[in-house]
Amino acid sequence: MKFETPAGTNPIDRMTVVGKPTSRVDGPLKTTGLAPYAYEHHREIANPAYGHVVGAAIGQGTIRSIDLAEAKAAPGVLAIVTAADAGKLGKGKYNTVKLLAGPQVDHYHQAVALVVAETFEQARAAAALVRVDYARAKGRYDLAEALKTAPLTGGSSDEGSAAPPIDRTGRFERAFAAAPVKLDAEYTTPDQSHAMMEPFASIAAWKGDELSVWTSNQMIDWGRSDLAITLNMPKDKIRFLSPYVGGGFGGKLFLRVDAVLAALGAKAAKRPVKVALTRPLIANNTTHRPATRQRIRIGAAKDGTITAIAHESGSGDQPGGSPETAVNQTKLLYAGANRMISMRLAVLDLPEGNAMRAPGEAPGMMALEIAMDEMAEKLAMDPVAFRVKNDTQVDPEDPKRRFSQRQLVRCLNEGAQRFGWSRRRAPGAVRDGRWLVGMGVAAAFRNHMNMPSGARVRLSPAGVVTVETDMTDIGTGSYTILAQTAAEMMGVPVYSVVLKLGDSSFPVSAGSGGQFGAANSTAGVYAACVRLRASVAQRLGFNSADAVFEDGRVTSGNRSADLRQAAATGELVAEDKIEFGDLDKTWQLSTFGAHFVEVGVDAYTGVTRVRRMLAVCAAGRIINPVSARSQVIGAMTMGVGGALMEELAVDKRFGLFVNHDLALYEVPVHADIPHQEVVFLDEADDKANPMKAKGVGELGLCGVGAAVANAIYNATGVRVRDYPITLEKHLDKLPAVA
């Protein structure tokens, strides 16, 4: 099905199932422990061996030699795989550096070897006996230093966030110089880890020259394709499965070493092999959100009209990597005739930087939305009013191109009313006992991205509808919204729909990432159901154009039949995919929102506690308000972590992240998170897809960090521009206690 014109009225608009709060259809399996995650496929795999990964102990250099004698002699050891044993490996399209070191080491904890043994404990013990002689080389680990000579570099996150090396509209420098009110400030965000609950884990099993891999991965087709490239084998000889994923946040978008070494280990041991990465390897071996250093300049007339805006960002990555696209939102979020954005990319020898939830906009808005508050203060304007003043219904760089839907002003105004924004006072003016209390606001923004997505739908003689697609559920609720879509289209209850996901033998979907998964994968199921409805109507002798599917029956004119009759002589099967024309080029497809936060800062210790949070979101049709709310409050929680505690500390001598486990890398816990309120505006975007839906997974994060930072400033009168905002960054500047 090709989506080329705005969606008219269709069966989804009935919203008898879609749009209704629906409990997760996979909930019972997960709460009873019957949902198998990557490391738990015991029914399919008999007598697996265990692999333990040895990570490089240097950040840059070469491997002189590896002594495996003691490890091979250890109890239970079946095989050991190194680069020398693996032979020539390819490098996947989505991997910046090779996954197995040898002889060159590209970064700390790059995999050096896999030890396979009968038990996990034996594999771990033997891995400690692998002796590697390294020749350490000088590495590049200091972002600030490397950015001094870094070139302008464009790039894309492959998740909808992209920008050229430099982009100009109008004459920024002249307009900025002439502006009566100016801001010129620098902001920093640190390296961050995905810190998902389920580690990177895989089981691999060979049957002749065919390989099956059960793994924790967000994008089945990407992972399968890159595994084929890496192992230099035909893609059609690989089956890649991820039916349940325990969190990914972008870290599991790409093939990682657990899958590759499980496959190599299984071939060497001639047994199925299980591999799970330890927490230190998750931080240093896999990907992370790169640190940024950003400069924002805003010039405005005295009435608050922005006349000049510039956003420059610098980040680092391995050679051949891409920049963190932190300037993307500044191209679109606010009006202003004279604009300049640019990005620089420094070459670093730290572990690979890549997508983490809302790549680009998440760190970019942490800076931009503080800058907007600072500018509002210079203008003596309310921060909400300043943002509203500079709203735009067209692309500021291309005024002929309108937004398909843009309710930012409504999000800000309704959020302000709900949150009691009118009670906000001057910085440092509100106290509650020992607490300095403040409110902060930030806009939320994330682009929508159209991607092809396929599905296969079956109707059984019993009236059961089965959906097959390689779409993954990474905790986001894919099982439920796909079931709702099929139920709405075929006129059956949700419990009559069976979902089969995360298997490369099924049609290729959009996958889970970048806030594009829900809208595109449901649109793919919609397309397959349109084809199945036509087959049902034909089997029943009905006119498919006017057939109504409702309550398990099909009605056309004055004729009606039970849906099951259509499959009485045999199962009906339909397959299709959603493909897109140029609507996303004619119209700007984006999602918008507003975040409001109240914090308390202890006047004695400087410790910050978040007291209240509100998100108002405009993101197209909300398919399931229950799972959508869960997505937003999870993102808001992640935003609090980014604002107050999350930071991978870089050892600039040896090139590693020091706090590489959950004991030292701090993330929010229940005690850190207060009441969270989420409001979805009524919206259906007919330019996006037949579902008229977009996404909320990243929108709930973008802007949260700045809302927290702005609330801290309002509470204390101390402006901190370097995240995370830990107590030592403002403690000595807090108002006198006595």
Q: Which residues are catalytic?
A: 698
Quote the crossing angle between the two packed helices 625-644 and 704-716, to the nearest 10°.
50
Q: Which residue has the tokens 């503080």?
A: 370
Please say whether the beta carbons of 686 and 586 come within 8 A.
Answer: no
Rounded distance, CA 120 to CA 3, Å? 50
Nearest to 94 by CA among 254, 207, 317, 303: 254
CB-CB neighbours of 302 under 10 Å: 10
Quote the distance between the C-alpha of residue 278 and its chain's center. 22
Rounded distance, CA 475 to CA 357, Å? 14
Please say whether the beta carbons of 417 and 677 come within 8 A.
Answer: no
Helix ranges (DSSP H) in 554-662 = 583-586, 625-644
Tokens in use for 612? 């209240």
List 115's β-bridge partners, or say none: 52, 80
3-state helix, strand, coil in the chain (%, to 5): 30, 30, 45
Q: List the strands of the sheet with 104-105, edge to edge.
A: 104-105, 61-67, 131-136
Please say whether the beta carbons of 375 and 181 come within 8 A.
Answer: yes
Residue 598 belongs to what H/E stretch?
strand 590-602
Please say whether the beta carbons of 564 and 610 come within 8 A.
Answer: no
**Phi-psi region at 153: left, alpha or beta (left = phi > 0; alpha = psi -120 to 50):** beta
**Residue 538, Cβ density class (10 Å: 0-12 exposed, 13-18 middle, ≥19 buried):** middle
Rounded distance, CA 455 to CA 462, Å? 21
Please say whether the beta carbons of 492 and 529 come within 8 A.
Answer: no
Residues 6+ apart with CB under 8 A from 662: 195, 279
Nearest to 356 by CA among 216, 196, 163: 196
Please say whether the beta carbons of 716 and 735 come within 8 A.
Answer: yes
Quote the crossing angle between the two packed helices 220-231 and 257-269, to the nearest 10°.
50
Tokens in use for 258? 């657990």
Rounded distance, CA 561 to CA 191, Å? 60
